[in-house]
Structures are given as C-alpha cells and as structure tokens.
Amino acid sequence: MRLLILFLILPLFSNSAAGKIPDFTKGDTLAADSPHDWNLGATGAHGWVYCEKGGSAKSRQVLITKIAENSPASQQLAVDDIIIGLNGADFENDARISLAKAITEAEATDGKLSLKVWRKGTIDNIDLSLPVLGRYCPTAPFHCPKSQKIVDQGCAQIAQTIKNPDGRRRHVVVKSLNALALMASGDDQWMPQVKQVVDSLKSWKISDRDLHSWSSGWVNILMCEYYLRTGDHSVLPTIQRLSMQIAEGQSHVGTWGHRFAIPETGIAIGYGSMNQVGISLTISLLLAKEAGIEDAKINTAINKSQSFLGFYSEKGPIPYGDHHPFLKTHDDNGKASGAAVLFNLLNDQTATRYFSITSLASYGTERETGHTGNFFNMLWALLGISQLDESATGAWIQESAWLLDLARTHTGSFEFLGKPGAVRGEHSFAGWDCTGAYILSYAIPNRNLYLTGHKKSCLPALSPQQVASVIHDGRGWTPETGAVSYQARSIGELLKNLGSWSPVIRERAAMALKTKNPEEFITPLIKLTQSPSINEILGACAAWEQLGTAGAKGVPHLSELLKSDDYWVRVQAAEALAGIGAPAQKTIPELLSLITDEPMPGDNREYLRRYVGLALFDSRSGLVQKSIDTIDPELLSKVIRTLLHNEDGRARSSLKPILIKLPASQIKPLLPAIYQAVVQQAPSGVMFSDGVRLTGLEILARNRVAEGVPLCLDLIDIGRWGLTKRWKPCFTALQIYGANAKSELPMIKKFAEQLYNNPKYQISKPEHPSHNKKMVEHYHTLMAIIKEIEAAPPLSSPMLSIKTIGKELN
C-alpha cells in the first residue's frame, strides 16, 4: 500500500542526454532541453552540471552559462568556459558540491577561489576574489558574524527591489516573504519598505484564476506579523477578511487544496489536500487570534487542522495529501519543519519535538528534494529546527553550508536552485526571488517574528550528544541511491535501527533486511514483535511487511498485535500481514472484525478502518484478491457498509473489485449504501474518490435503480478534476439503463445542448482556438446514446427505487 503513495510523489528526474555524461572539453554540447543550470554562489556566474536521478554525484565539469556584470567572475570567466577542478587538480567527485564547498571555504578565509578552467583547448588556473564573510559559527545563525552580514546584504537587496523595482515579476508569496524578512532583521531602517509592501497587499483578494490558498496564508501572516510588530490598526480589516475566508475555505476534514473547498460540500477542489499550504494557513489563523481576531469558525478551523496534521506526529513526515505518512526522507517539502513551527505555536510539546527533530535529520542533498521543487524545504528548514536550540541550527548549517552559499548571489540576494536534473513541473519555482525565504532563517536570532521565534520554544534544549545523534541518523540516503547504503549494515545494526525514534530509519532498515537471509534474523525479529518498546514493535511490523511470504513465521505474532491498545500498532500489523500475503490469509476474519468494531479511542477519523480496509481489499496488495467465497456474507456486507462511509476516497474505492464480484442476492441489500456512496463524494482522498462512485453507478444501472439515471450525468461534473476518467463509465451506465432512461430524456438532451453550447469547448467551431476535439467526441457519443434510448423497446418490468429497497430492509 505504501508503494502507491510513493509512486504518486516520486519526482520525475531528467537524465541528461539519455544517461550519457557530456564531456565539453571534447566537443560535446548542451542539449536544448537540458535541465536547469545553477547559481554558483557569490562568484556571479551560473553553471550547468550533469545530473542523474536527482543528484549530481557523477558531475566532473561545470559549464559556465551566464556571468553577471561587476561580479567576481565578470573579468575572469567567460560563457562556455568549463571548470574542471580546483586548486590545480581535477574534480574527483561531485563537481557541483565540491565547487560549493570551495566557495564556502574561500568566504571563510582569504576570499581566494582557485579554479582549474578549460577554455577553447587551453587549461588555466584562474583565481577569483570573493568577499570575506568569515566562517559559520558552531551555533549559526546565532552569535555568528557571517550570518549577520548575510542578513544585512540580503535586506539591502530586498529594500532596493521594493524601492526601485527591477522589472522582475514577484509572486505574492515572494513579496510577503521579502517584507517578513525585513521585519525579522529587526532593523527599523527597512520599515518604510515593509509598509510599502503591506499597503500594496491590503486590498489583495482571492481569485479563482489563482491558486489562492498559497497566497492567502502568506499575505495573512504578513499582515498579522506587521500588526503585532507595529500596532497599525489599518491592517485589521484585511486580517479579519482573510482569516474568515481561510476558515470558511477549509475542507470538511481540516485541510485546504490549491483553492478553497467547495462551500456546499466542504470538499477540497481539485485532487485533494495540500498540506504545505495547510501549515501556512493555520499559522496565519493562530497569528490572527494573537492580533485579536476572534470567531468560532477560526477556532474550529485551527482545531481541525491541528487534528489532521497532528496525526502524523511520531508516525512519519507529513505527506502530500491525506495519505500514509511519508517514509522516503525525513522531511518532504518542508512540511515537517513547518509543522514544528505550527505545533510550537499550539504549545504541543510532543508534536513540536518530533517534527523539529525529524527536520534536523534532513539536510544537505536530502533538502534538495521536494515535489515541484525544494522552495519550501529550504524556507522552513531552520525555522523548524530552531525550536530545538542554537546547537541544533549550528549543526544543520555545518552540514548544509555549501547548499546555502551556493544559492546566494554576489549581490547578497538568493536564487532558487531546485532539484538536480529537475525539469518542467518539478522545477516550478524557477526564477523566483528566494531572498526573503533564506533571510528569514538567518534572522532567527533576533526573534522579532512569531515565525522566527518570538514565542519561546516549548522544548528543552538538546544536549550536544543528542544533536550529533540526530545528525548521524540523517545519514545513509542520497537522491541517486536512496537508502541502498543500509544494505551494507550488519543484521545486528539493522535490528537496532528497527527500534529507532524515526519511522523513516525503521522503514530503511526493513527494506535492507529484505536483502539478507531471513533465517539469520527471524527469531530476534519475533522478539521485537513482543517488545515493550512501541518503536521496536512498529519497526518489526515494517520488517515483516517487507519480507513477503518469507515472513510467514511472523503471522501469529502479528495476529496478536491486532489486539493492541494502540490503534497505529494494529494498523502496522495489518499492513505487515498484507505484505506477507498468502500465509497471512488465515487472519482475514480478524481483520474484517477490526473494521466492524467500534472505533478505538483517539482514532477520530477511523484510520484503523481505512488502513485495514486497504490491507484487505487493495487491488494490488490486499489479502482478499481472488475469492470471497470463504468470507461470511453477513460480516462482509457489514464491512462494505462501514467502508462505504469512511472519510477516505481510496478506502472506499478499494471495494471496487469486491462489489463487482458480489452475487445479486448480496448486492441488493447493499444498494442503498452504494447509492449514498455514489451521491456523496468522500470528503478526503479526493483523487481516489471517483473509483467507487463510478463502479457503484454501474451497479445501480445493472440493478435498474431509478435514482441512478440522473447520476449518469451528475457524476460527469465537467468542472471537477479527473474529468477524463469519468466520461466513459458514465456513458456506459447510461447505455446499460437503455429504455429505462426514457423518462429522463429531456434532462439528457438538455445536458447535451449545454455541452454543445459551452463556450469553453466551441464544439461547433473547428476553426476556433478553443475547439476541443475530445469534447466533440463526447458530444457525438452522447447523441448516439440518446438515439439508442429513443429506439429501445420499452421494458416489461419497472425499475427499482432506493426508497422501496430501504423500506424492505427496515
């Protein structure tokens, strides 16, 4: 089950020249569609390096692609120069990271950066002179002169672009972050520029043409932080307006999508929840309360978001969507780091500690990852880690200094670097001014904003040993190889890793154990299953899941865990049994009973039912795949009714293959529940929610349920995400109804007319730019179905009614 979630969020990397590493000294050229180049720190140059599988480990050359005027590189380097080494020696490993570390070292010492450069067949050693900023202190950015210099330079650049715009378009989020950074610096000389930005955004309004959830949170945070800093009452109406729109735009389950939820249903628009945006929106509501804005809707929204995001505490980093905890890296798009800030504002010590520690374990190349780009991974990192203490931020910067310094230009501004090799949608923030996003982190010591620690952390400081231990826990993963290095660890080490505080480490260890001989660790793995430590139990479950049928000996022990007082232990045991497969099918009755039992304390969203349902019925990995003959029909019907009401669209849709297999005698009593599942879309897991609805629609049609006819058109729902997957099933159901749909012909014809006249598709005008050939096909298909229905002979037996069936069942 976890494999599907990983598939959904795995980044799409571009391999340069189909995997061939270009050698520019031998005449190779850069392909027109090559991935992006890189800012090369304070040199003033940009350069391209070879990237593969999300990393640049194989790069040994840096091709200069651009040079800024009046920069250290402007008199020394030229476009098409190739940096092949440092200090007279060729690069022996990652050229990008080696050059970045050399830039950091040059800034720390005498400013001299010695490059080995190939130019038109000649090799020269060229020295660049970089400004000396000093070395990052062990507690950076605290008590760190270099960090303060970076703040001063960055703020000067931000102020300059506000006073004298450079023509570069800046997103509302960027404008807000830049103004926040100026306030975070604590330097009052920048307040006129802050006020200029605030005044320009007071009248900002949401628009359906924009992904307004992203902007709303950051504009509201800016307004709130500005009011709390200055007491300027002129921004309170904006805070009031935005806060109410944000609260009312939250989904039924406590999330937000790219845009606010559909008011009538409380369901997120598009394909579901955006948890990164949920963090900024919730923080903005908390700050609005600090600013004196009080409303029951705001309190409800905060509580719902806290419940939704808090679920992931100690289970794994917050994922994309309403999915299983993210177990690939220690942070995903900065959501763990952002959550550390959020939960500190909420005074939740447990969640703050977990999310800040897991943030600390994510540094260097791991921070370069992130869906659509690593903008938020870098924005939130130090803000979250600072909830620990200054030794933690210092340790993180020691590991990530090269990445920070690579993004900073010779003027002191910061550019978006992105993921190595990323293209198109995976490089969505290309060209963004990232200065404010970085300066916020460097300005943390001033504690001027709630984002940067104005509210004291609720956590005690970590010891140096604890900080070093967390940094050590973050090792062992690279974008290119994933966690393959874990396979070199001994069985003893991996068994110890299964008891880690980190679900990510437990998952990596479990995957590595799969490559070992099971006979060498089955017995100690059984002991872990019986451990008093919940982390060891969860780690053991992860290992059993990975073993597949080789883990058959774990079945009775996992069966015992299904009785645990902790619902997440039950979930992990169920997933492990599903991973084992056939040898675990004997536990199907126990798993079915978990779905029909009363919800466990603390499981307010019925996660246990959701994940056990997937463990049983998932089309690829569920224990119930081929036959339902051995399952008690009454128990199965009860399970189906229960899952059809689960909040999660994927849990509901896992029932598709089971519903199709049920005989008519079992289907008829379920028709009211199936009908409701078709009519009422699942409030979460939106991207999966149509599966059971479309299957249910076909079942209603085959059973001649009258109420299903109008649903054939309702479910098409032209304006909703996923339209292309709905046309054919809806038309198929309409054809199945055939003559039974005659009474609804006026409605069907009206729908066809509306489709034909829709200006968005211009069906009648092939020469029009908006003419949509696919919609033309759908229109003609619908017209053909109308003719079929008109020509169909009347049926002798009447259709069924859900109301009648319901009365019979009662």
Query: In the predicted model, what is the mean pLDDT of residues 146-160?
Result: 98
> In terms of domains, do 112 and 11 share one?
yes
Q: Does 88 fall in a domain?
A: yes
Q: How many domains does the structure of the chain reveal?
A: 4
User: Are 185 and 266 in the same domain?
Assistant: no
Q: Assess if residue 653 is contained within a domain.
A: no
Residue 342 lies in a domain: no
**Contact predicate 93/57, CB 8 Å:** yes
Mean pLDDT, rounded, for 347-354: 98
Q: Over range 715-742, report the average pLDDT.
A: 92
* CA–CA separation, 143 and 252 (whole Å): 45
Rounded-to-integer distance, Cα 365 and Cα 369, Å: 7
Residue 85 belongs to some domain of the structure: yes
Q: Which residue has the higher pLDDT, 623 or 17?
A: 623
- For residue 48, the 8-state DSSP code is E
Look at the block and give the residue holding tokens 């590991």: 399
| CB neighbour burial string for 742-781, b if at least 16 within 10 angstroms, e if fewer | eebeeebeebbeebbeeeebbbeeeeeeeeeeebbebbee
Please state the pTM of the whole predicted model: 0.94
- Are 459 and 606 in a shared domain? no
- Give the model's confidence band at 338: pLDDT under 50 very low, under 70 low, under 90 confident, else very high: very high
Virtual torsion, Cα 2, 6, 8, 13, nearest 10 deg: -170
CATH number at 524 reads: 1.25.10.10
d(CA 143, CA 506): 36
- Tens of pLDDT, residue by residue over 7-30, are 343 333 333 434 689 999 999 998
Give a yes or no: residue 810 inside a domain: yes
Domain boundary among 428, 448, 472: 472
Pair (225, 278) in one structural domain: yes
Kindly report the CATH number assigned to the domain that includes residue 693.
1.25.40
pLDDT for the residue numbered 16 = 42
- What is the residue-averaged pLDDT of the chain? 94
Judge contact between 555 and 583, C-beta under 8 A.
Answer: yes
How many residues make up the chain in this entry?
810
CA distance 430 to 712: 42
Residue matched to tokens 């980044």: 11
Number of CB atoms found within 10 A of residue 607's CB: 23
Q: In the structure encoding, which two tokens stand for residue 691, read together?
A: 């599966």
Is 651 inside any structural domain? Answer: no
In terms of domains, do 39 and 147 share one? yes
Peptide bond into 22 cis (omega under 30): no
pLDDT number for residue 476: 96
- The secondary structure of 59-73 as a DSSP string is ---EEEEEE-TTSTT
The domain boundary residue, chosen from 438, 453, 472: 472
- Sign of the alpha-carbon torsion through 655, 660, 664, 665: negative
Over the Cα atoms of the chain, what is R_g? 29
What confidence category does residue 649 fall into, taking pLDDT thresholds of 50, 70 and 90? very high
pLDDT top residue among 58 and 3: 58
Say yes or no: 358 and 437 in one domain. yes
pLDDT in tens, 289-323: 999 999 999 999 999 999 999 999 999 999 989 99
Q: Is residue 42 part of a domain?
A: yes
Q: Are residues 130 and 124 in contact, defined by beta-carbon separation less than 8 angstroms?
A: no
pLDDT band at 808 (very low <50, low <70, confident <90, very high): confident
Pair of tokens at residue 583: 């040898």
CB 130 within 8 A of CB 141: no
pLDDT in tens, 746-801: 999 999 999 999 998 999 899 999 899 999 999 999 999 999 999 988 776 788 99
Q: In Å, what is the CA distance from 541 to each residue of 158, 305, 552?
A: 50, 29, 13
Residues 683 and 757 both lie in one domain: yes
pLDDT for residue 727 = 94
Q: Are residues 128 and 91 in the same domain?
A: yes
Average pLDDT over residues 111-132: 97
| Of the candidate ranges 135-139, 412-416, 620-624, the one whose mean pLDDT is the lowest | 620-624
Q: Which of 259, 287, 310 is the last residue of a domain?
A: 310
3-state secondary structure of 41: helix
Asked if residue 319 is part of any domain, the answer here is no
Q: pLDDT, tens digit, for every residue of 659-689?
A: 998 999 999 999 999 999 999 999 999 999 9
C-beta of residue 351 within 8 angstroms of C-beta of residue 343: yes
Do 50 and 176 share a domain, yes or no?
Answer: yes
Domain co-membership, 228 together with 279: yes
- Asked if residues 695 and 725 have their Cβ atoms less than 8 Å apart, the reply is no
Closest listed residue to residue 700, CA positions, set 711, 689, 714: 711
Residues 266, 251 contacting (CB under 8 angstroms): yes
- Whether 364 and 389 share a structural domain: yes
pLDDT at 810: 65
pLDDT of residue 796: 67
Query: Per-residue pLDDT tens for 231-272?
Result: 999 999 999 999 999 999 999 999 999 999 999 889 998 888
What end-to-end distance do the CA atoms of the chain give, in Å?
A: 37
Backbone angles phi, psi at 399, to 5 degrees: -80, -25
36-91 per-position pLDDT tens digit: 899 999 999 999 999 999 999 999 999 999 999 999 999 999 999 999 999 999 99
User: Tokens at residue 786, please?
Assistant: 């109308």
Q: Is residue 440 within 8 Å of 180, Cβ to Cβ?
A: yes
Q: What is the pLDDT of residue 485?
A: 97
Q: 231 lies in which domain range? A: 206-310
Same-domain status, 462 and 493: no
Mean pLDDT, residues 689-698 taken together: 96
Is the distance from CB of 21 to CB of 10 less than 8 angstroms? no
pLDDT digits 0-9 by tens, 200-226: 999 999 987 889 999 999 999 999 999
- Condensed to tens digits (0 to 9), the pLDDT of residues 164-196 reads 888 777 899 999 999 999 999 999 999 999 999
